[in-house]
């Protein structure tokens, strides 16, 4: 009887242990399913979604379907980051659905999808409702073709998946694209110019953010065209007519939005006292509490090496949505030949500084001198301001205006050299047209990480790989025979 009781106790204890273990496994799996966390161990944070993407995914109102049509064998370099990144999209929003179809394994299904969406290439189809966007596989990667002769294939140096996927979602989720007009006829930077001083890069970046971008000859026009969301004046080199300034004022007073990039352009102007060209915008901006300095700003501790004293970095930002992400990341923008833009006073207008020099900077009123003296603008010097009207009539939008004392920061030359410049430009425009969900740091550029070892280091690794198992066997044998004694 006692033996039977002991057997029952033993069996019961074992059963309870098994049940407890099963319950523990169920609990762990449940919490792992409900509260999971994805990690990104890549050095460039390749799979970490940017703030911009997270904001857009959080505000999604419609389902978005991603259909991945990539061959894993031939497009492995693109396949893995694409599928992993889209998994992050799906984890961030329940409205994102991802479907992966390998053209090699499911050719019939791919043929049906190609017929349905009217595509003839591999890539990613982004669908929402009755609208779609097709991203070609060749557009997903930045390739270095210099390796063709040595390896027979180009090397991927950058992955552009997040920029393209987020842009496609934005295009599908917005019913109307905001219209931006860039003024022409005063020597402004051209949107079609591919050179260092052109704005072709800015046009491409803004296009990814789903804008309609056009150039507009404002001279002789009595008003800003109907349907315009934003007017940009980028680096004028001649004066504006008073009728143009009146049209801008009427546009702003009706709740319009403007971005003015005004350089300290040299030129003989009567009464200027500083030799800087007067465009008419200087006094006009004063109506909105923006004081335009007749100076060139220098900041010796933050000068870009080998670029001249006029090219400066700045990372001292005001507390504003346009610059908040830059300030939190400690990211400096790069500007060239800058003038001061300071906050003044205007009835019914709130004016705030966006970016400043260090306390060592100053606004030189005599650029030929370049020696700091009491007549110069003391640092820290404001380089950009934002003006916004206060209370407005019911149903009327408030006026928004940003003025920066430099246009070079948005040219092809500086956008390529400084990613924070891209952030500043995109954030300024998105804030102006009230697209606050896009005010974030853009996706980081990917990097290729390689481990380079010398011949001696390779031999050391091989010896360790061989020695450790052999040593384990020897030690085990010694312990075995010592216990046999």
Tens of pLDDT, residues 342-378: 999 999 999 999 999 999 999 998 877 777 888 889 9
CATH 3.40.50.2000 assigned to domain 51-171? The reply is no
CATH 2.60.40 assigned to domain 179-434? The reply is no
Q: What is the rounded distance in angstroms from the CA atom of residue 392 to the CA atom of residue 457?
A: 71
Beta partners for residue 231, in sequence order:
181, 258
Which residues of the chain, if any, have pLDDT below 50? 40-41, 44, 269-273, 443-444
- By DSSP bridging, strand 64-69 and strand 96-101 are parallel
Tens of pLDDT, residues 184-226: 999 999 999 999 999 998 888 777 666 889 999 999 888 999 9
Q: What is the rounded distance in angstroms from the CA atom of residue 354 to the CA atom of residue 334?
A: 14
Tens of pLDDT, residues 43-92: 545 567 888 888 888 888 889 999 998 887 655 578 888 888 999 999 88
Neighbours of 217 (CB within 10 A): 11
Look over the chain and give the mean of its residue pLDDT values, rounded to a whole number.
83
Contact partners, residue 293, CB within 8 Å, separation at least 6: 264, 339, 340, 341, 342, 363, 377, 381, 405
Domain limits of the chain?
51-171, 179-434, 451-485
SS3 sequence, 376-389?
A: CEECCCEEEEEEEE
Question: What is the reported pLDDT for 52?
Answer: 80
**Residue % of the chain over a pLDDT of 70:** 82
Taking the model in full, what pTM does it have?
Answer: 0.70
Q: What is the rounded distance in angstroms from the CA atom of residue 84 to the CA atom of residue 68?
A: 11
Burial class (CB in 10 A: 0-12, 13-18, 19+), 25: exposed
Question: What is the reported pLDDT for 272?
Answer: 43
Question: What is the reported pLDDT for 484?
Answer: 65
Q: What is the rounded distance in angstroms from the CA atom of residue 314 to the CA atom of residue 320?
A: 16
Q: What is the rounded distance in angstroms from the CA atom of residue 410 to the CA atom of residue 357?
A: 18
């Amino acid at each position: 009887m006692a033996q039977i009781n002991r057997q029952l106790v033993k069996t019961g204890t074992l059963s309870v242990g098994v049940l407890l273990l099963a319950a523990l496994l169920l609990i762990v799996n449940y919490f792992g399913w409900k509260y999971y966390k994805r990690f990104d161990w890549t050095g460039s944070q390749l799979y970490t979604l940017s703030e911009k993407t997270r904001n857009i995914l959080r505000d999604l109102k419609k389902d978005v379907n991603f259909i991945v049509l990539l061959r894993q064998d031939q497009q492995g370099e693109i396949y893995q980051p694409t599928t992993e990144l889209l998994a992050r999209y799906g984890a961030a929003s329940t409205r994102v659905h991802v479907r992966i179809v390998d053209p090699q394994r499911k050719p019939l299904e791919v043929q049906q999808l190609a017929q349905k969406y009217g595509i003839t290439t591999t890539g990613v189809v982004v669908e929402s409702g009755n609208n779609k966007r097709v991203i070609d596989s060749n557009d997903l990667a930045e390739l270095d073709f210099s390796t063709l002769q040595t390896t027979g294939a180009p090397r991927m140096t950058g992955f552009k998946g997040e920029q393209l996927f987020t842009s496609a979602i934005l295009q599908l989720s917005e019913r109307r694209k905001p219209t931006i007009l860039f003024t022409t006829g005063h020597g402004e930077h051209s949107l079609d110019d591919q050179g260092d001083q052109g704005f072709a890069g800015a046009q491409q970046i803004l296009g990814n953010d789903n804008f309609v971008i056009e150039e507009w000859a404002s001279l002789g026009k009595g008003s800003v065209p109907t349907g315009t969301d934003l007017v940009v004046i980028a680096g004028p080199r001649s004066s504006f007519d008073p009728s143009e300034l009146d049209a801008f004022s009427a546009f702003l007073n009706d709740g319009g939005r403007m971005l003015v990039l005004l350089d300290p352009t040299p030129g003989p102007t009567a009464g200027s006292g500083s030799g800087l060209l007067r465009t008419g915008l200087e006094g006009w901006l004063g109506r909105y509490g923006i004081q335009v300095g007749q100076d060139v700003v220098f900041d010796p501790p933050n000068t870009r090496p080998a670029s001249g004293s006029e090219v400066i970095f700045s990372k001292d930002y005001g507390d504003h949505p346009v610059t908040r992400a830059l300030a939190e990341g400690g990211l400096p923008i790069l500007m060239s030949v800058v003038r001061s833009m300071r906050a003044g006073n205007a009835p019914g207008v709130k004016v705030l500084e966006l970016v400043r020099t260090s306390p060592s900077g100053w606004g030189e009123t005599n650029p030929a001198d370049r020696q700091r003296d009491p007549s110069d603008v003391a640092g820290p010097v404001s380089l950009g301001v934002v003006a916004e009207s206060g209370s407005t009539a019911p149903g009327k939008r408030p006026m928004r205006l940003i003025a920066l004392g430099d246009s070079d920061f948005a040219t092809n030359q500086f956008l390529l050299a400084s990613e924070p410049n891209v952030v500043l430009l995109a954030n300024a425009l998105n804030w102006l047209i009230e697209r606050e969900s896009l005010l974030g740091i853009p996706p980081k550029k990917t990097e290729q990480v390689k481990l380079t070892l010398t011949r001696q280091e390779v031999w050391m690794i091989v010896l360790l790989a061989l020695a450790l198992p052999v040593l384990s066997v020897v030690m085990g044998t010694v312990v075995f025979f010592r216990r046999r004694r």
